[in-house]
Amino acid sequence: MIAGTAVTATCLIAFVILIPQIKRYLPAFLQYRSLLFNLVSKDIKIKYRRSVLGLLWSVLQPLFIMLIVSAVFSHILRVGVENYPAFYITGILIFSFIIESTSLSLNSISGSASLLKKVYIPKYLFPLEKCLFACVNMLFSLIAVVFVYLILGTPLHLTGLLLPIPMFYAAVFSVGLGLVLSAAVMFFRDVSHLYAIWTTAWMYLTPVLYPLDILPGFMQAILSFNPLVYYVGYARDVMLYGVVPDFGTNMICIGFALVSLIVGIAVFKKTQDDFILHM
């Protein structure tokens, strides 16, 4: 009860802190929304340029990876999870989105140096655009998730309509982390290499390949500080198990997302004027 009250209080404080920031940046965001849309469109065209299947790869890639992982963990390592393919692909949907959006955000500022030197554009638009681009990819990957459910005969629960909620939580969290990473890499280029190593470790510290309950109690306690545990678990609850997460779970998810966004805005705002010196 005390922990739940503390989380709720943290979320309320975060909202109060964010409101002035949102009011400040909203007019500029609306002014440059067309540019944001064009940047996302450009990234989609570049990613699938000269590709025969194009956007279809966003559907096929998670399917192929799911087949490989399912073969290994269901038959070779024998992880005791019922309907493992659906279990895996639901978790990897959220995990891959967070990793893709934050990894792309890393070099979003440094990669746009030539443009930023010529015209004024709010710098935060570039990591934000990378997160929106990853959102588009996630939506196409969602087709693969539904396809797997239909092929395997996994029930599609009405609670699946709540999937946009953990997607939104994960997106807010990713924007905040992306802002921090894009700022950090401007001053320390090694951050991009270190983050690549961290994402590999993060994969195994998040119950994407395995269920959380197979871990001993002390490991579960440690992983309770990992935001991705809650986002992945939320997606599986609504999609795979037909369960609506309780108020406490939602508050924890919101808390991680808002803290990430507040820290991201604060770090980015404090350092952005010095970016030009390191481009």
Q: Is the dihedral of CA 231, 233, 237, 241 positive or negative?
A: positive
Lowest-pLDDT range of 116-125, 128-137, 154-163, 227-236: 116-125
Task: Kindly state the percentage of the chain with pLDDT values over 90.
Answer: 31
**Confidence (pTM):** 0.86
Number of structural domains found in the chain: 1
Residues 6+ apart with CB under 8 A from 114: none
Distance separating alpha carbons of residues 144 and 269, to the nearest angstrom: 38
Domain carrying residue 61: 2-278
Please give the C-alpha separations between residue 204 and each of 65, 198, 212, 231, in angstroms, as whole numbers. Answer: 16, 10, 11, 15
pLDDT attached to residue 227? 93
C-alpha distance across the termini of the chain, in Å:
49
Q: Which has the higher per-residue pLDDT, 34 or 55? A: 34
Q: Could you report the per-residue pLDDT of 12-41, keeping only the tens digit for each?
A: 666 566 667 666 666 766 777 787 788 888
Q: Could you report the per-residue pLDDT of 65-106, keeping only the tens digit for each?
A: 666 766 665 555 556 677 888 888 899 999 999 999 999 999
